[in-house]
Structure 1
Amino acid sequence: MSDILDGVTTFVRVVETGSFALAAERMNLTRSAVGKVIVRLEKRLGVRLLNRTTRSQSLTEDGQAYYDRCVRALAELEAAEADLDSGRREPQGRLRVSVPQAFGHYCVAPVLLGLARKHPQLKIDISITDRFVDVIEEGFDLVVRVGPLADSVSLAARKLGMQHASIGAAPAYLARHGTPRNVEELRGHAVIGYLRAGSAQPWDVVDVDGQIRRAQVQPQLGFDDMKGIVDAALAGFGLAWLPSWLLTRYEKTGELVTVMENCFRPAQEIHLVWPKSRYLALKTRCAIDALVAEIPAMIGAPAPGAPRSRDA
């Protein structure tokens, strides 16, 4: 007797990704292997599920009906696993997390390290990158996003707080060049820029009178990595754009000084994002709870209230 679920997951993944090649990549299979699975499934069912050409694919009428039922069946299996999972006292399995570079290194990784120590059966893979990842297609259980969220009916989100940004510099630099007191006095200072897509981000700064003005600065040095900006600032190169929570860490040690505090607009929201599901796996729930409990204090934000999800 054949396994009734044989090929179902592969078929659903092919439809969701819209591509045999992409489905193969996500499942760590070859395109040929995925194609053979679909052919065997169609042969077993006695119907054609997909219309395929060299450039595109589409569901047949039978394929659409079968896909809809497969999705519901897999959801029920997911729910059954979640019910079993909820009966466990300890989270276990592999948790895949993607986080931005600086925020990941300084804030998220220490929390997840503590979680891994507490739960030996939990295996945590952390991808640290400023690249915008596709949560669903790349198979992440949890992602931290700094900045606006893209609308998606397939994702849920939980706000961790706001990231404000300040201007900081090493005491040695300020001793040599003076401390600017307003936006106009930023002109002429050595500036360490933050690069995004190869371009230095402008400095739109709240001036002493509360008005937002664009500082006339030309970064001589630029990084697309926050660690590079911090290292250059510590070396006394010049003024740096830094997340306020990160600048505060170095201010406490005396290595950096805040020149203008929380002066950049707009501030950025920080969210946890995960694939929306009726049943949240214990491993994901534990990670969310740990991050919600510890991150706000790290960034100087008030602790959020009861857990609540919304569309991302």
Structure 2
Amino acid sequence: MENKLLSFRMQLFASVIRAGSFTVAAEQLNLTKSGLSQHITALEQELGVQLMHRTTRKLTLSHAGEIFFDRCVELENLLRIAVDELNETQSTICGSLTLTAPEGLVRPVISPVVIQLMAKHPELTIDLIVSDKQLDLVQGNIDVAIRAGKLVDSASKARRIGEINEHWYINKNIVCSESVAEIVLPWQNSSSEKQLKVSTFPAAIEFVLQGAGIALIPDITVLDFIDDGTLVKVEHPGEPGLKQERIPVYAMHNYQNHTPRNVQYVIAAIEDALQNLTKKLDNMS
């Protein structure tokens, strides 16, 4: 049996029975009477049974037609429930969402947002993957990726949600000079003879706090330490006056036509948090 049009024709059949005639049903469905009649005939041929007796005055259901009509009504109800449930999920923040973000953004931006969202929306579950690598969204089954810096070529949708500044920071008790070690991250270039290489921003921040040297760090990652005076902004002793470019931050996803509401909501919340931190830093400057 060809099932591609079966559910559609079942609904047409139910409409005809409720209307009591092909003429009225065709008008209600915005179809031609002949077209509607052809669908019902095709349905009976597919099923191998006569569903109704037709006369010029009325339609009468056969025994098989009575049983089948009940099933058609059940199908309509199931379809209506499916649409209602889908609409409900689109109007509420719920379900599971996988999010990836670089380590440097987790403490100042991502973790406060995740905690707030899950407290406000108990039916929302967020799985966070912390990685400085640009993970493949499809292979990783990732809904949202937050990326900082230059993007690699990708078919994913990307929207710029903010930017961050980087500056050189040092412990307030350390005198900045060319003899001070430079704490270097993998993607940073350094000509300093005295280097301490680390793999993550948190590690770089910890060494700076301990007075091990200076590091080029995003302002938002050390906001608390700037606020309490533990870390101070300095110029690089070997390159005074060197200005650092602002680093763009993007939100990425793979949804092409209909972006789920929870994805939109999480991206908006992260964007709002990032913008608020940027404003706070601008006011402190």
Q: What TM-score, normalized by structure 1, do the two folds share?
A: 0.57
Provide closer, same or farther for how the CA distance between residues 218 and 88 of structure 1 changes in structure 2, counting only shifts above 3 A: same
Cα distance between partner residues in 2 of 1:81 and 1:225: 46
2:223 paired with 1:223 = no
Q: 1:106 aligns with which of 105, 108, 119?
A: 108
SS at match of 2:142: coil
RMSD between aligned alpha carbons? 2.9
2:180 paired with 1:149 = no
User: Percent identity at matched positions?
Assistant: 21
Amino acid in structure 2 at the alignment position of 1:257: V
Structure ranking higher in helix proportion: 2
Give deviations 1:29-78, integer Å, cap 9, x for gaps.
Answer: xxxxxxxxxxxxxxxxxxxxxxxxxxxxxxxxxxxxxxxxxxxxxxxxxx
Q: 1:271 aligns with which of 250, 259, 262?
A: 250
SS at match of 1:144: strand
| 1:232 and 1:238 in contact (8 A); partners too | yes
Cα distance between partner residues in 2 of 1:102 and 1:288: 17
Q: 2:181 aligns with which of 162, 178, 190?
A: 190
Shift, 1:88, TM fit: 4.7
| 1:168 and 1:247 in contact (8 A); partners too | no
Q: How does 1:145-184 map to 2 (within 5 A)?
A: 145-153=147-155, 155-174=156-175, 179-180=176-177
Provide closer, same or farther for how the CA distance between residues 279 and 244 of structure 1 changes in structure 2, counting only shifts above 3 A: same
In structure 2, the gaps of 5 or more residues are 5-81
2:233 paired with 1:255 = no
Q: 2:221 aligns to what?
A: 246
Q: 2:208 aligns to what?
A: 233
In structure 1, the gaps of 5 or more residues are 5-79, 181-186, 204-215, 303-312
| 1:85 and 1:281 in contact (8 A); partners too | no
Q: 2:31 aligns to what?
A: none
Q: How does 1:93-132 map to 2 (within 5 A)?
A: 93-132=95-134
Shift, 1:285, TM fit: 1.3
Provide closer, same or farther for how the CA distance between residues 87 and 229 of structure 1 changes in structure 2, counting only shifts above 3 A: closer
Cα distance between partner residues in 2 of 1:223 and 1:3: 61
Cα distance between partner residues in 2 of 1:292 and 1:275: 18
Which structure: larger Rg? 2
Where relative contact order (Cα < 8 A, 6+ residues apart) is larger, the structure is 1
| 2:166 and 2:245 in contact (8 A); partners too | no
Shift, 1:230, TM fit: 0.6
Give deviations 1:273-301, integer Å, cap 9, x for gaps.
Answer: 01132111111111112112221122348
Amino acid in structure 1 at the alignment position of 2:189: P
Amino acid in structure 2 at the alignment position of 1:256: L
Q: What TM-score, normalized by structure 2, do the two folds share?
A: 0.62
Give deviations 1:77-130, integer Å, cap 9, x for gaps.
Answer: xxx979924665421110000010111232112112101110000011001111
